[in-house]
Amino acid sequence: MRLYHISLGNLRRRKGKMILLSLGLSIGIAVVIAMIGITSQMKKDVEKKLDEYGANIIVSPKSKGLSLHYGGLHIGDTSYDIEELRTADARRVREIKNNANISAVAPKIIGTYKSSGRSYLLVGVDFPSELVVKKWWQWSGKTPDTKNDVLIGAMIAKNLNLAPGNILSLGGQDYHVAGVLKENASQDDFSVFLHLETAQQLLRKPDQLSMIEVSALCSACPIDDIVAQISEKLPYARVSPVRQAVALRMQTVEQLMKFSVAISVVIIIIGALIVLISMLSSVNERTKEIGILRAIGFRQWHIVRVILFEALVVSGLSGIAGWIIGSVSTSLLLPVVTGTGGFLFNPSLLAFAAGIAVCTGILSSIYPAVKASRLEPLEALRYY
Amino acid sequence: MIEMKEIKKRFSSNGSSFEALKEVTIHIGQGEFVSIVGQSGSGKSTLLSIIGGITPPSEGKVTVDSIPIYELPIEKLADYRREYIGFVFQQFHLLSYLTAGENVMLPLCVTKHRDMEELARSALRKVGLEHKMSRLPSQLSGGEQQRVAMARAIVNSPPIVLADEPTGNLDTDTGEDIFSLLKELNKDGHTIILVTHNRELAERSQRIITVKDGRLMT
């Protein structure tokens, strides 16, 4: 016979009320677990989508004078003290310490080209890398494959009446239109994308690059470290993080987390109040019993221990039940809420759920327990 | 053993005050069997609860084995109740969800006594209920419940047993059994203080203390 036998005996006696209390707390914990599960999955989803947004580091030549812009981004100067970027520089980007965080390095040369009285904006790219950083691109036709394949913007195709499979003549050389980009309201609509080397030859800038786009957006990506490492490798280049994308990602994730924490705190406070009211009611119902225990020599601390042990058992079980309910709910809700699945039962969340439930249960029961322990034995016995 | 000097006890409720005991002085020696008698509201139960360490007097001093019990810190006073006093109440006051054996073990469980179960068995044997150790109170008769309460009162061998109307809720024969048990406990060396309405029972104790309107009658 130990003190906890009294606690367990009382829990058995008040089975119905304790199940209801446990259910209330379990649902609260389940909601918290589901919030965490769903928001962490949403966070991953947002990160993935933002990864797909494209490049977040631009490497351009250091120069002074007139600026060239591409897609609103500064890509270099044209006047003097120009430090040209070379094709090999794209490979050197891959040599940085945080190489594992880089998903794509997309070198490109950009320039205007006149042919048959028309001006074209030529963009020479490495298509496999370019397609990684331009995940939003959609086109009809096929992916450019050979060195004579080009991908043309929607407006060029419209103005020249070109379709996939047609021929585009540039400087007396015929190029096969592999695909036509869908209109995306950007400079891409007016551009001709062709293989890097081909563009370098046409623009008479062999081995030169106008810029390198680097895609390094990922979970917990040390973006500033990556920028510093690229700058170290290419001291003659300007390396700029695209702050907007990083800031947007961080803001979105932070908002999600704040929302989740706020809701969880509210739920836990409600859970704590439920426990407090229930334990106070339990103490009131057990006034006589507490009086008996005090009369036969129980110290105040013994009474506190009996009541806190009850809270520990109820809240601990509620935590486990809440974790199970929350995990199952998350698995069922994720496909509806985020359109993704794949939530796995997370044992570390079990420890979290049990910990939160026990802390809530114990803290909420301290006042009822102390109140019970301070009952005068005679007053408690005279109650009945 | 028990010294009560000029004890006064006032109860206050809703602005009005009631004096339950008026300058009561008593000495009870070790091993005595004392009955306290008096009409309802005379103050006899209050007297018992003051000796038992569950109601502090408004004035006066109570010493047990020369220990001024109401000068003890609150937790030491709880220890006094556990080590010196065995309570038997009119309404038995057993915990309904614990078995007879567990109820008897209650005073021992806070001290994590090694031979707890054996002591409980022995106490129940004394009251003739060893075979009902695993029964719940609801499975026992009134007399049996009172005997379990007596076993709980003596399980840790307290020198003093306080019985407040222990036969009040029992029929005559069962009441007689309980009184006989108290006599046996007294023979074993326990000091017995019995509060009763039953003058006949009281006359079979060694000494009778009559309380009337909060005062002792000589």
Residues B39/B212, Cβ–Cβ less than 8 Å: yes
| Residues 6 or more apart whose Cβ sits within 8 Å of residue B180 | none
Residues A222/A101, Cβ–Cβ less than 8 Å: yes
Would the CB atoms of B93 and A300 count as touching at under 8 Å? no
| Plot region of A297 (φ>0 → left; ψ -120 to 50 → alpha; else → beta) | left
- The CA distance from A18 to the nearest CA of chain B, in Å, is 15
Q: Which of residues A190, A221, A241 is at a domain's end?
A: A241
The confidence score (pLDDT) of residue A34 equals 86
Instruction: Kindly give the residue spans of alpha helices, DSSP state H, lying in A181-242.
Output: 196-202, 223-233
pLDDT tens per residue, range A138-192: 999 999 988 899 999 999 999 899 999 999 998 888 999 999 999 888 888 999 9
The confidence score (pLDDT) of residue B35 equals 93
| H or E segment and range at residue B107 | helix B100-109
Residue scoring higher pLDDT (A307 or A99): A307
Residues A180/A154, Cβ–Cβ less than 8 Å: yes
- Out of A56-65, A283-292, A367-376, B156-165, least confident range: A56-65
Residues A105 and A40 in one domain: no
What confidence tier does B160 reach under pLDDT thresholds 50, 70, 90?
very high
Would the CB atoms of B152 and A296 count as touching at under 8 Å? yes
The residue with tokens 């809701």 is A263
Residues A111 and A229 in one domain: yes
| Token reading at B192 | 């017995």
Residues of chain A in contact with residue B108, where contact means CB-CB under 8 angstroms, are 1
Mean pLDDT of A109-127: 90
- Domains defined along chain B, listed by start: 29-58+73-211 (3.40.50.300)
| Type of residue at A186 | S
Residues B99/B135, Cβ–Cβ less than 8 Å: yes
Q: Which of residues A241, A271, A306 is at a domain's end?
A: A241
Measured on CA atoms in the order A53, A57, A61, A64, is the torsion positive or negative?
Answer: positive
Residues of chain B in contact with residue A294, where contact means CB-CB under 8 angstroms, are 54, 78, 81
Residues A263 and A341 in one domain: yes
- Chain B contacts in chain A segment 268-307 (CB below 8 A): 288-289, 292-302
Q: Is the pLDDT of residue A320 over 70?
A: yes
Residues A206 and A324 in one domain: no
Q: Which of residues A241, A269, A294 is at a domain's end?
A: A241
Residue-range definition of the domain harbouring residue A108: 56-241
The confidence score (pLDDT) of residue A192 equals 94
Task: Return d(Cα A163, Cα A177) in angstroms, integer.
Answer: 7
Would the CB atoms of B81 and A297 count as touching at under 8 Å? yes
The confidence score (pLDDT) of residue B134 equals 93
The complex's ipTM works out to 0.90
Q: Is the pLDDT of residue A259 over 90?
A: no
Q: How many domains does chain A contain in total?
A: 2
Would the CB atoms of B49 and A376 count as touching at under 8 Å? no
Would the CB atoms of A294 and B98 count as touching at under 8 Å? no
Task: Return d(Cα A154, Cα A177) in angstroms, integer.
Answer: 12
If you average pLDDT over every residue of chain A, what do you get? 84
- The CA distance from A322 to the nearest CA of chain B, in Å, is 28
Would the CB atoms of A300 and B106 count as touching at under 8 Å? no
Residues of chain B in contact with residue A7, where contact means CB-CB under 8 angstroms, are none
Closest in A12, A289, A297 to B110, CB measured = A297
The confidence score (pLDDT) of residue A51 equals 61
Percent of chain A predicted with pLDDT > 90: 32
Q: Is the pLDDT of residue A380 over 80?
A: no
The residues with which B59 forms a beta bridge, in sequence order, are B8
Residues A61 and A177 in one domain: yes
Residue B166: name the closest of B106, B86, B109, B102 by CA.
B86
pLDDT tens per residue, range A53-96: 555 788 988 766 555 566 555 555 555 556 788 999 999 998 98
Residues of chain B in contact with residue A12, where contact means CB-CB under 8 angstroms, are 97
Would the CB atoms of B95 and A289 count as touching at under 8 Å? yes
Q: Is the pLDDT of residue A35 over 70?
A: yes
The confidence score (pLDDT) of residue B41 equals 83
The confidence score (pLDDT) of residue A384 equals 43
Residues A14 and A127 in one domain: no
Mean pLDDT of A215-230: 76
- The CA distance from A11 to the nearest CA of chain B, in Å, is 10
pLDDT tens per residue, range B9-55: 988 877 788 888 888 899 999 999 999 998 888 888 889 999 999 88
Residues A290 and A366 in one domain: yes
Residue scoring higher pLDDT (A166 or A221): A166
Residue scoring higher pLDDT (A351 or A52): A351
Residue scoring higher pLDDT (B92 or B101): B101
| Type of residue at B174 | T
Residues A207 and A276 in one domain: no
Q: Report if pTM > 0.90.
A: no
Residues A316 and A360 in one domain: yes
Per DSSP, the three-state class of A123 is: strand
Would the CB atoms of A3 and B109 count as touching at under 8 Å? yes
Residue scoring higher pLDDT (A56 or A203): A203
Instruction: Kindly give the residue spans of alpha helices, DSSP state H, lying in chain A.
Output: 3-13, 15-53, 87-93, 127-133, 154-160, 196-202, 223-233, 243-285, 287-295, 300-337, 347-373, 377-382
Task: Return d(Cα B179, Cα B202) in angstroms, integer.
Answer: 10
Residues A176 and A61 in one domain: yes
Mean pLDDT of A332-343: 72
